[in-house]
Amino acid sequence: MSVVGIDLGFQSCYVAVARAGGIETIANEYSDRCTPACISFGPKNRSIGAAAKSQVISNAKNTVQGFKRFHGRAFSDPFVEAEKSNLAYDIVQLPTGLTGIKVPCFYTDAERRSVMDATQIAGLNCLRLMNETTAVALAYGIYKQDLPALEEKPRNVVFVDMGHSSYQVSVCAFNRGKLKVLATAFDTTLGGRKFDEVLVNHFCEEFGKKYKLDIKSKIRALLRLSQECEKLKKLMSANASDLPLSIECFMNDVDVSGTMNRGKFLEMCDDLLARVEPPLRSVLEQAKLKKEDIYAVEIVGGATRIPAVKEKISKFFGKELSTTLNADEAVTRGCALQCAILSPAFKVREFSITDVVPYPISLRWNSPAEEGSSDCEVFTKNHAAPFSKVLTFYRKEPFTLEAYYSSPQDLPYPDPAIAQFLVQKVTPQSDGSSSKVKVKVRVNVHGIFSVSSASLVEVLKFEENEEPMETDQNFRDLIRPVFQKMQVDQEEPHAEEQQQHTPAENKADHPGAPKDSVLNNKMDQPPQAKKAKVKTSTVDLPIENQLLWQIDREMLNLYIENEGKMIMQDKLEKERNDAKNAVEEYVYEMRDKLSGEYEKFVSEADRNSFTLKLEDTENWLYEDGEDQPKQVYVDKLAELKNLGHPIKMRFQESEERPKLFEELGKQIQQYMKVISSFKNKEDQYDHLDAADMMKVEKSTNEAMEWMNNKLNLQNKQSLTVDPVVKAREIEAKIKELMNICSPIISKPKPKVEPPKEEQKNAEQNGPVDGQGDSPGPQAAEQGTDTAVPSDSDKKLPEMDID
């Protein structure tokens, strides 16, 4: 099992994987850890990442980038309407009203749900959507060994993340093994892209006056200028002198050029730099901290490399900025760490994370006691997350809860609605009174709001020594299968029972809540003077979700199916292109080798014929063969290999054959040397059997005769025809010779028994230090020759030596 963290940015993305040795940011197929967030659609397949980035200008209409800003937004959103005019590609409205195209901390519920849908379409099992600044904080804190203990005052650290499209700030409190986000602030449109736009607008105006060019009317020219301005911005971060900007054949075959320096650039960016401080000030106010309470300020994100931005942040806090984290990879590393913490496959140091809700969330409902509607705020801004609350209502019929953001002025788009939740199958009590309905609302680990459950509490009352009252049989039959728990023998007046089930925190937090809610509902129930025996049961109620600006399950399944089809189409197209490239590669390879290392192994006529065939194939590739099925390329390659393989084989044989003949000659010489030693009766081989050695001599002579015969025939053979003997035949001959001769000549000598006198001495000496049994007197005197000495007897002579 592997776990990864993904930082999907506006301009680029990073992927980190958790492994046994730690967190590693992985490289793509181009050995680059930074992959452009770009997709290009061709006639038959898609290109993703760096391959798509290279088509931004050549295939501008079908290359999509910067789509992160459109997640979860309505097509009618003013932001989307404003951005459409700046896009090289078109966006369309889906049936749901969405635009058809790691999350920032300012992402709303709809945007988060959109990202979760995207993970399902991509086939990913998303364990958690993590706020970018929270991921950075985790990557910062989990490795710190000097954090204060839990009972001590926490260490407050500010994290500033300015990327290509947005600016986020958070302040976090660290204790040992604990991270708590105190507050967040952001500017959703301030980033490196805005600084690029300043340069683009400047040069559009300058080139318009200087060269009479309307650059914004040509999207390709505008994209080229944007790319050059981005490079110029990065150069100015490291160089304060005048820097040139030159583009050849920019528009209408006109070359353009201009200059820019850092000082002039910062003057043009004064309004952007003025937007750096407000989020810094806001986050301290929300966390109720002073600048002196901040331990460190950590900056990440590509745009924080702009010297003026760093200067603004440092000046505001009055301290040196910290850059201990990788500005580009900190987010993805933090996500991978969180994923490893959540995965059972990894054992990670305990580290708890408490995030916050970026916007206050309220609920609205229709009140049965009053005309109109009531509402209350269930989650305040910067409320801890994940978190859940239980609200109690008194109802006789189903009702609807409408969730919305209660501070629309802070949202990145104007619509504050989140979703509607219909609580179904609510019925009155048996006596006709309102039923108590408990509703659980929560913000989960992804930062998504939901009404997770609802339950109806049925109350049966009867006086002491009386049987409980029978409720309506149909109602009992309806709720019996879904009973969850039973509370029996609660003896309390009804008013006291009502007060007991009302959360105290809700009363304190929401004193102005309507009468129909448990938050302020003492007068809704008639008082009971008599004590009664109460029997209660809880029944789960179904909830129907009506999520705004989100695709439904049927549409999501259709997208998942379409994504699978596109993946298969991409795979088939890749295989087709690989087959085509294999043909082209073979043409170039053989054409070069026919006039090089293969020249001696092909006749002139065959070479001319084959060369002509290669040229025809090359021309075919760029004409009729430009777009053919995979099998056509496979057959074409097989046809060429039928002509080229014999030539390649003759070359390979000429390279391998001398080496193998040399090896065979060495084996023959070795065995001949052994035969000569045996005939000279040398001690090393005098134990070998004469018949076996005759077999060795015969096999060796036959091998020598075979080798000499093949060498003579091969020397007479031309290199342009197939060889007389092939390498595999020589290998087989070597193996045959070794199988016959090696077992014979490597036979070990038999073991030599010690002389008889040594045996007698060993028997007479007897055991030493009580080892072994001492033979009787008769056995010592007789000393039979056939006796076999024991192991201890064999060692005795050596043990008696001084």
- pLDDT higher than threshold 60 for residue 512: no
- pLDDT higher than threshold 80 for residue 7: yes
Domain match, 18 and 151 both: yes
Q: Is residue 794 part of a domain?
A: no
Domain match, 14 and 118 both: yes
Q: Is residue 558 part of a domain?
A: yes
Decide which of 766 and 678 is more confident: 678
What are the pLDDT digits (tens) for 480-497? 444 443 333 333 333 333
Q: Is residue 303 part of a domain?
A: yes
Nearest to 370 by CA among 517, 490, 558, 265: 517
- pLDDT band at 783, cuts 50/70/90? very low
The dihedral built from the CA positions of residue 363, 365, 369 and 370, taken in this order, carries a sign that is positive
pLDDT averaged over every residue in the chain: 82
Element (H, E) at 172: strand 167-175
Nearest to 166 by CA among 243, 275, 85, 253: 275
What's the average model confidence in pLDDT over 615-638? Answer: 92
Contact 553, 534 (CB under 8 A): no
d(CA 408, CA 414): 6
Q: Is 275 strand, coil or helix?
A: coil
Domain match, 347 and 368 both: no
Domain count, the chain: 3
Q: Is residue 720 part of a domain?
A: yes
Q: Can you name the residues that pair with 19 across neighbouring β-strands?
A: 22
Pairing of strands 243-251, 254-260: antiparallel
What's the average model confidence in pLDDT over 454-461? Answer: 83
What are the pLDDT digits (tens) for 77-104? 777 777 776 777 677 665 544 333 367 8
- pLDDT higher than threshold 60 for residue 524: no
Where residue 412 sits, what CATH number does that domain have? 2.60.34.10
- pLDDT higher than threshold 70 for residue 766: no
Domain match, 303 and 405 both: no
Amino acid at 305: R
pLDDT of 95? 55
- pLDDT band at 778, cuts 50/70/90? very low
The dihedral built from the CA positions of residue 135, 139, 142 and 144, taken in this order, carries a sign that is negative
pLDDT of 433? 86
pLDDT of 70? 79
- pLDDT higher than threshold 70 for residue 642: yes
d(CA 233, CA 372): 56
d(CA 489, CA 461): 10
CA 460 distance to own-chain centroid: 55
Residue position matching structure tokens 């008769």: 778
What does pTM read for this prediction? 0.72
Domain match, 420 and 313 both: no
Q: 213-217, 428-432, 713-717, 778-782: which range is least confident on average?
A: 778-782
First to last CA, the chain: 68
Question: Percentage of residues in the chain with pLDDT exceeding 90?
Answer: 47
Domain match, 186 and 54 both: yes
What's the average model confidence in pLDDT over 59-85? Answer: 78
pLDDT of 153? 93
Domain match, 650 and 728 both: yes
DSSP state of 93: B
Where residue 128 sits, what CATH number does that domain have? 3.30.420.40
What are the pLDDT digits (tens) for 206-229? 999 999 999 988 888 999 999 999
d(CA 148, CA 154): 6
For residue 705, the enclosing domain spans 552-746
Decide which of 294 and 687 is more confident: 294
Residue 526 token pair: 């008639």
How far are the Cα atoms of 65, 164, 207, 221, 222 from residue 216, in angstroms, in the given order? 18, 22, 11, 8, 6
Domain match, 30 and 147 both: yes
**Boundary of a domain, candidates 353, 372, 387:** 353
Residue position matching structure tokens 């809540």: 513
Half-sphere exposure of 422 (CA within 13 A, CB side): 8
Domain match, 407 and 307 both: no
- pLDDT higher than threshold 60 for residue 765: no
Residue 184 token pair: 């967040």
**Boundary of a domain, candidates 516, 547, 578:** 547
Nearest to 330 by CA among 597, 5, 756: 5
Q: Is residue 783 part of a domain?
A: no
Question: Percentage of residues in the chain with pLDDT exceeding 70?
Answer: 81
Domain match, 46 and 143 both: yes
pLDDT of 112? 87
Contacts of 358 (CB under 8 A, 6+ apart): 105, 106, 107, 184, 186, 381, 382, 447
**Boundary of a domain, candidates 335, 353, 371:** 353
Q: Is residue 432 part of a domain?
A: yes
Amino acid at 522: K
d(CA 127, CA 604): 67
pLDDT of 224? 92
Q: 16-30, 500-514, 672-686, 731-745: which range is least confident on average?
A: 500-514
